[in-house]
Structure 1
Protein backbone atom coordinates (compact mmCIF):
# COMPACT_ATOMS: atom_id res chain seq x y z
CA UNK A 1 0.00 0.00 0.00
CA UNK A 2 1.32 3.38 -0.94
CA UNK A 3 1.65 6.43 1.23
CA UNK A 4 -1.28 8.09 -0.53
CA UNK A 5 -3.62 5.16 0.17
CA UNK A 6 -2.66 5.03 3.85
CA UNK A 7 -3.30 8.76 4.25
CA UNK A 8 -6.63 8.34 2.47
CA UNK A 9 -7.83 5.47 4.64
CA UNK A 10 -6.73 7.06 7.91
CA UNK A 11 -8.35 10.40 7.03
CA UNK A 12 -11.54 8.70 5.89
CA UNK A 13 -11.86 6.66 9.09
CA UNK A 14 -11.03 9.49 11.50
CA UNK A 15 -13.25 12.07 9.81
CA UNK A 16 -16.07 9.51 9.51
CA UNK A 17 -15.94 8.67 13.21
CA UNK A 18 -15.86 12.38 14.04
CA UNK A 19 -18.86 13.08 11.78
CA UNK A 20 -20.82 10.13 13.18
CA UNK A 21 -20.20 10.98 16.83
CA UNK A 22 -20.91 14.69 16.32
CA UNK A 23 -24.16 14.07 14.47
CA UNK A 24 -25.38 11.45 16.97
CA UNK A 25 -24.52 13.66 19.95
CA UNK A 26 -26.20 16.74 18.52
CA UNK A 27 -29.23 14.89 17.13
CA UNK A 28 -29.89 13.30 20.50
CA UNK A 29 -30.20 16.79 21.97
CA UNK A 30 -26.84 16.99 23.75
CA UNK A 31 -26.89 16.50 27.50
CA UNK A 32 -29.11 19.33 28.72
CA UNK A 33 -31.78 19.38 26.02
CA UNK A 34 -33.07 15.81 25.92
CA UNK A 35 -35.75 15.79 28.60
CA UNK A 36 -38.20 13.79 26.47
CA UNK A 37 -38.38 10.07 25.85
CA UNK A 38 -37.33 10.51 22.23
CA UNK A 39 -33.96 9.24 21.08
CA UNK A 40 -33.40 12.02 18.57
CA UNK A 41 -34.88 15.40 19.43
CA UNK A 42 -33.00 17.32 16.74
CA UNK A 43 -32.71 15.07 13.66
CA UNK A 44 -31.64 18.09 11.61
CA UNK A 45 -28.08 17.39 12.70
CA UNK A 46 -27.93 14.21 10.64
CA UNK A 47 -27.25 16.60 7.74
CA UNK A 48 -23.64 16.44 8.99
CA UNK A 49 -23.44 12.86 7.71
CA UNK A 50 -24.98 13.82 4.36
CA UNK A 51 -22.53 16.69 3.82
CA UNK A 52 -19.65 14.46 4.92
CA UNK A 53 -20.85 11.87 2.39
CA UNK A 54 -20.67 14.48 -0.36
CA UNK A 55 -17.13 15.26 0.77
CA UNK A 56 -16.23 11.57 0.62
CA UNK A 57 -17.65 11.22 -2.89
CA UNK A 58 -15.61 14.25 -3.99
CA UNK A 59 -12.58 12.70 -2.30
CA UNK A 60 -12.95 9.40 -4.17
CA UNK A 61 -13.49 11.16 -7.50
CA UNK A 62 -10.31 13.19 -6.98
CA UNK A 63 -8.42 10.10 -5.77
CA UNK A 64 -7.83 8.99 -9.35
CA UNK A 65 -6.19 12.25 -10.40
CA UNK A 66 -2.44 12.11 -10.79
CA UNK A 67 -1.69 15.55 -9.36
CA UNK A 68 -0.96 15.95 -5.68
CA UNK A 69 -2.81 19.28 -5.58
CA UNK A 70 -6.14 17.55 -6.29
CA UNK A 71 -5.41 14.97 -3.61
CA UNK A 72 -4.67 17.62 -0.98
CA UNK A 73 -7.70 19.71 -1.97
CA UNK A 74 -9.97 16.69 -1.75
CA UNK A 75 -8.61 15.86 1.73
CA UNK A 76 -9.22 19.44 2.86
CA UNK A 77 -12.73 19.40 1.39
CA UNK A 78 -13.52 16.10 3.13
CA UNK A 79 -12.38 17.47 6.50
CA UNK A 80 -14.16 20.79 6.00
CA UNK A 81 -17.41 19.02 5.16
CA UNK A 82 -17.88 18.15 8.86
CA UNK A 83 -17.96 21.77 10.16
CA UNK A 84 -19.93 22.87 7.08
CA UNK A 85 -22.54 20.22 7.88
CA UNK A 86 -22.51 21.40 11.50
CA UNK A 87 -23.29 24.97 10.45
CA UNK A 88 -26.06 23.83 8.11
CA UNK A 89 -27.48 21.65 10.91
CA UNK A 90 -27.54 24.59 13.31
CA UNK A 91 -29.27 26.73 10.70
CA UNK A 92 -31.90 24.02 10.06
CA UNK A 93 -32.50 23.53 13.79
CA UNK A 94 -32.95 27.26 14.38
CA UNK A 95 -35.19 27.52 11.34
CA UNK A 96 -37.35 24.63 12.64
CA UNK A 97 -37.72 26.37 16.01
CA UNK A 98 -38.71 29.61 14.29
CA UNK A 99 -35.78 31.58 15.69
CA UNK A 100 -34.60 32.68 12.25
Structure 2
Protein backbone atom coordinates (compact mmCIF):
# COMPACT_ATOMS: atom_id res chain seq x y z
CA UNK A 1 0.00 0.00 0.00
CA UNK A 2 1.38 3.41 -0.93
CA UNK A 3 1.57 6.34 1.41
CA UNK A 4 -0.43 9.53 0.80
CA UNK A 5 2.80 11.26 -0.22
CA UNK A 6 3.56 8.62 -2.87
CA UNK A 7 0.00 8.88 -4.19
CA UNK A 8 0.33 12.66 -4.42
CA UNK A 9 3.65 12.42 -6.29
CA UNK A 10 2.18 9.86 -8.70
CA UNK A 11 -0.62 12.28 -9.56
CA UNK A 12 1.68 15.28 -9.99
CA UNK A 13 4.33 13.71 -12.25
CA UNK A 14 2.71 11.80 -15.10
CA UNK A 15 4.98 9.82 -17.40
CA UNK A 16 5.94 11.88 -20.49
CA UNK A 17 4.71 10.49 -23.80
CA UNK A 18 7.03 8.91 -26.35
CA UNK A 19 6.26 11.67 -28.83
CA UNK A 20 7.27 14.31 -26.28
CA UNK A 21 10.52 12.50 -25.49
CA UNK A 22 11.30 12.11 -29.22
CA UNK A 23 10.57 15.78 -29.90
CA UNK A 24 12.75 16.81 -26.99
CA UNK A 25 15.61 14.63 -28.29
CA UNK A 26 15.31 16.07 -31.83
CA UNK A 27 15.27 19.64 -30.53
CA UNK A 28 18.35 18.94 -28.45
CA UNK A 29 20.17 17.54 -31.49
CA UNK A 30 19.18 20.52 -33.65
CA UNK A 31 20.36 22.91 -30.96
CA UNK A 32 23.71 21.12 -30.75
CA UNK A 33 24.09 21.27 -34.55
CA UNK A 34 23.32 25.01 -34.63
CA UNK A 35 25.77 25.62 -31.78
CA UNK A 36 28.51 23.69 -33.59
CA UNK A 37 27.87 25.62 -36.83
CA UNK A 38 27.99 28.93 -34.94
CA UNK A 39 31.26 28.01 -33.23
CA UNK A 40 32.73 26.92 -36.58
CA UNK A 41 31.81 30.26 -38.19
CA UNK A 42 33.19 32.25 -35.28
CA UNK A 43 36.45 30.30 -35.27
CA UNK A 44 37.21 31.81 -38.69
CA UNK A 45 37.79 35.23 -37.14
CA UNK A 46 41.54 35.69 -36.85
CA UNK A 47 41.33 38.99 -34.98
CA UNK A 48 38.38 41.11 -33.93
CA UNK A 49 38.19 44.87 -33.67
CA UNK A 50 35.27 47.04 -32.74
CA UNK A 51 31.96 47.72 -34.41
CA UNK A 52 29.50 50.57 -34.32
CA UNK A 53 26.18 51.32 -35.87
CA UNK A 54 25.03 54.34 -37.83
CA UNK A 55 21.33 53.92 -38.48
CA UNK A 56 20.90 50.45 -39.97
CA UNK A 57 24.50 50.31 -41.18
CA UNK A 58 27.11 48.45 -39.14
CA UNK A 59 30.68 49.68 -39.46
CA UNK A 60 33.66 47.48 -38.62
CA UNK A 61 36.59 49.39 -37.14
CA UNK A 62 39.99 48.38 -35.89
CA UNK A 63 41.79 45.16 -36.59
CA UNK A 64 39.19 42.78 -38.11
CA UNK A 65 40.77 39.87 -39.95
CA UNK A 66 38.68 36.99 -41.25
CA UNK A 67 39.48 33.69 -42.92
CA UNK A 68 36.14 32.67 -44.38
CA UNK A 69 35.24 30.67 -47.45
CA UNK A 70 33.54 33.60 -49.16
CA UNK A 71 36.11 36.28 -48.31
CA UNK A 72 39.89 36.03 -48.48
CA UNK A 73 41.93 36.54 -45.35
CA UNK A 74 42.38 40.23 -45.01
CA UNK A 75 41.81 43.45 -43.17
CA UNK A 76 38.18 44.57 -43.02
CA UNK A 77 38.55 47.76 -41.02
CA UNK A 78 36.28 50.53 -42.25
CA UNK A 79 33.97 48.09 -44.02
CA UNK A 80 30.27 48.92 -43.88
CA UNK A 81 27.39 46.55 -44.41
CA UNK A 82 23.64 46.52 -43.96
CA UNK A 83 22.01 43.48 -42.39
CA UNK A 84 22.93 40.23 -44.06
CA UNK A 85 26.36 38.74 -43.69
CA UNK A 86 30.06 39.40 -44.02
CA UNK A 87 31.35 36.26 -45.66
CA UNK A 88 29.85 33.45 -43.61
CA UNK A 89 29.48 35.57 -40.47
CA UNK A 90 26.20 37.08 -39.36
CA UNK A 91 25.76 40.31 -37.47
CA UNK A 92 25.24 38.32 -34.27
CA UNK A 93 28.60 36.59 -34.80
CA UNK A 94 30.41 39.90 -35.32
CA UNK A 95 28.64 41.40 -32.33
CA UNK A 96 29.65 38.53 -30.05
CA UNK A 97 33.30 38.78 -31.12
CA UNK A 98 33.71 42.57 -31.15
CA UNK A 99 35.95 43.93 -28.43
CA UNK A 100 33.53 46.74 -27.54
CA UNK A 101 30.42 44.53 -27.46
CA UNK A 102 29.40 41.08 -26.32
CA UNK A 103 26.48 38.90 -25.33
CA UNK A 104 25.44 41.07 -22.37
CA UNK A 105 25.99 44.61 -23.66
CA UNK A 106 22.26 45.35 -24.35
CA UNK A 107 22.98 47.57 -27.36
CA UNK A 108 20.43 45.91 -29.63
CA UNK A 109 22.93 44.84 -32.30
CA UNK A 110 23.09 41.18 -31.34
CA UNK A 111 19.42 40.58 -30.73
- The bucket for the TM-score relative to the shorter chain is 0.3 to 0.5
When normalised by structure 2's length, the TM-score is 0.30
Q: Which protein has greater RCO, CA pairs closer than 8 Å, 6+ apart?
A: 1
Instruction: Tell me which protein shows more strand as a share of its residues.
Output: 2
Larger of the two Rg values belongs to structure: 2
Instruction: Tell me which protein shows more helix as a share of its residues.
Output: 1
When normalised by structure 1's length, the TM-score is 0.32
